[in-house]
């Protein structure tokens, strides 16, 4: 099993999208990349902690290689918009890919370099080692499963049927 941490705006939609994919065995939402440990949602939303909303994705690399996982991520984000995804604005909604080993870093940077050829504006997705990741409050976990008509800026239909769990 491998883990990667993805920030793409509100973590509810990012989590719901990745939960439906073959090869993903677990997700957790939380806060990462900030200056303090264990912030609350209110602290993160204040913009003073430096955290972003993050979805931890645990996956089978043989079923869903990192490159394919990144393709999915780029389907659901606007990689050239800074501190905003959909209607959500603020530093806590910036986009990023956070890794735990240097081999992943090289793959991520190469992927972004290739993606940049499709954009006239610079890609602003952060690429950093994961730091200060902590779980969000319980009501945020699996939010869209618990709240089927809840808010979601991610188009969950972007996953093709053959890519989804059965």
Range of the structural domain that residue 111 is part of: 2-161
Evaluate whether residue 26 is within a structural domain: yes
Overall number of domains in the chain: 1
Evaluate whether residue 166 is within a structural domain: no
DSSP characters for 24-54?
Answer: EEEEEEEEES-SSSS--HHHHHTT-S--EEE
Would you give per-residue pLDDT tens digits along the chain (166 residues)?
999 999 999 999 999 999 999 999 999 999 999 999 999 999 999 999 999 999 999 999 999 999 999 999 999 999 999 999 999 999 999 999 999 999 999 999 999 999 999 999 999 999 999 999 999 999 999 999 999 889 899 999 999 999 999 8
Q: Which residues are catalytic?
A: 10
Closest CA to 96 of 117, 110, 120, 112: 112
Number of Cβ within a 10 Å radius of residue 24: 20
* CATH code of 81's domain: 3.30.1060.10
Residue 132 tokens read as 């200060």
Q: Strand, coil or helix: what is 89?
A: strand
**pTM > 0.85:** yes
Residue 87 tokens read as 């209607």
**N-to-C CA span, the chain:** 20
């Amino acid at each position: 099993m491998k883990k990667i941490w993805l920030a793409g705006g509100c973590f509810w939609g990012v989590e719901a999208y990745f939960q439906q994919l073959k090869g993903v065995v677990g997700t957790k939402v939380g806060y990462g990349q900030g200056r303090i440990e264990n912030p609350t949602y209110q602290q993160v939303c204040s913009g003073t902690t430096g955290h972003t909303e993050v979805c931890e994705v645990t996956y089978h690399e043989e079923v869903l290689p990192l490159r394919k996982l990144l393709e999915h991520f780029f389907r659901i984000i606007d990689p050239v918009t800074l501190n905003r995804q959909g209607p959500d604005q603020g530093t806590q909604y910036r986009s990023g890919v956070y890794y735990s080993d240097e081999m992943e870093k090289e793959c991520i940077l190469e992927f972004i370099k290739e993606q940049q050829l499709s954009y006239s504006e610079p890609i602003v997705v952060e690429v950093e080692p994961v730091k200060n990741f902590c779980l969000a409050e319980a009501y945020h976990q699996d939010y869209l499963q618990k709240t089927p008509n809840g808010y979601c800026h991610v188009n969950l239909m972007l996953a093709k049927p053959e890519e989804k769990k059965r």
